[in-house]
Structure 1
Amino acid sequence: MRSILVLALFVSVLVAPLSMAQPREIAPEASAVRPLLNGMTIPNVTVKLADGSPVSLAALTMQKPTVILFYRGGWCPYCNRQFAELQTVEQDIIDLGYQILAISPETPENLQKQALKTEMKVTQLSDTDLNAIREFGLGFHVDKVTQMRYAANNINLAKDADGKAVLPAPGVFIVNQKGQVEFSYVNPDFKVRPSAELILNVAKVLAK
C-alpha cells in the first residue's frame, strides 16, 4: 500500500509544474498552471454552496479530512465519467472518515440541477468568482477559438476581472484538518484523471 502512495505522489510531480510559492495568478494556458504542492496549506477562500450561501473552504476542511476535486463543469463528459467512477468507492472513502468536496466554476443554480442527477454524497461548491481555482493554482485562460466552440454549445465559461474566460485544470487534493495538502494530482490534459481506485488507496494510507 505504501508503494501505491509513493507512486501516486511521484505521478503528481510529473504532471504538474513545480512551484515553491503559493500561486495566485491565472495561467495563460493549461500547461502553465502551478498548483499547490504536498505540504502546502490551502488558502482560506470563500466559495458558495448549491443554495448560493457563501462558505469558507478552510472552515469546511477543519471539520474532517477532505478529498477535494476540482472539475470543469457538469457539461464536461470527462468530469461526469470521473464522478461515475468515483461513486463506486465513495462510501469507502466516507467510511475512512473523509468528506468529499467538488469545486467548479459552475453557478449555484447549475449545481442544483446537477444534484438532481446524482445520488452521490459529494458536497458541490460553486467558484464562479474563481477564488479557489486561482489560489489553488489551477486556473488558466481559455483561447478564443475554444471559447467560441463552447459558446456554440451553450457553454458559458466563468470570466476573470479582465473578462477573460477561465477554466480549472482538473485536480484532486487530499487535505488534513490543518488544511495541509497531503496528496495532489493535477494534469493539464483534462482528459486524464486519476482512477477512483488510486484515490481510495491513497486515502487508506493517509488515514492510518
Structure 2
Amino acid sequence: MDFKLTDEQRDFVAAIRDFSEREAGTQEKREALTEGYKLHHNFDVYKKMADLGWLGVTIPEEYGGSGGSYLDASLFLEETARGMCPIGGYGTTLIVAGAVQRFGTDDQKHKILGGIASGAVEAIAMTEPEAGSDVGNLSTKAERTSDNGGGYVINGQKVFISNAHISDHVLVVCRTTKGESKHEGLSMIFVPKDNPGMEMTPIDTMGGRDTNT
C-alpha cells in the first residue's frame, strides 16, 4: 500500500501552511486572535478558510463541499494546529457533518452541510451529568407534540458540550422510545441554538470557555 500523498494533497498542505503562517503562526498573533487566549475560535479566520473551500473538504460537491476524504481533513487539522490557527469549532463540526452525511435527510444535508462549508459551526450534545461516553445511560427524552405544527419537546440536561455557544445548531442525542436494550430508542434531533427553552451556562476550563452545560 502506498502511503505517499498525492501531488494535489501536497499542494493542499503547502497552501494551508502558507495561510496559517500568514494569518496566525506566532504566539503574538494567536494571542491577538483569541483575546488573550480567552477564546478558542476566531470566526474571521474561519470565514477566510470557508472562502477558500477548505471547511467543506469532506462534504460532497452537491452540498457545497469539495468531496475530499477524511485523510484530507486530517491534513487540514494537522497543518492548522501546527500553524496555531484558532479554529476550535471545526472538530465538533466535523463530527456533526459525518452524522448528517450518514443519517440526514436531503433537506438537512443541503442546509447543515451547506452551512458548514460556508463557515457555520455545529455542536453535538451527548454527555450528561450521569451519563458519559456510554450514551445508553442518557436520560434526556424527546416526546412528540402537536403544538406549533408538530415536532418534539425535549427535556433533560447536557454537560461539557463543546462549542455549543458558538454553534448554529446543537445535535441533541436523546431517547425517543424504549427498546429492549439501553442502546435502542435513541435519536438525534437538531435544535437551533436560540430555540426557546434552551439554556446554556459556560464552564470555565483551563483552555477557555469552550464547553457548556
Same fold (TM over 0.5): no
What is the TM-score with the length of structure 1 in the denominator?
0.26
What is the TM-score with the length of structure 2 in the denominator?
0.26
* Structure with the higher helix share, 1 or 2: 2
Question: Which of the pair has more CA radius of gyration?
Answer: 2
Relative CO higher for 1 or 2, CA cutoff 8 Å, sep ≥ 6?
1
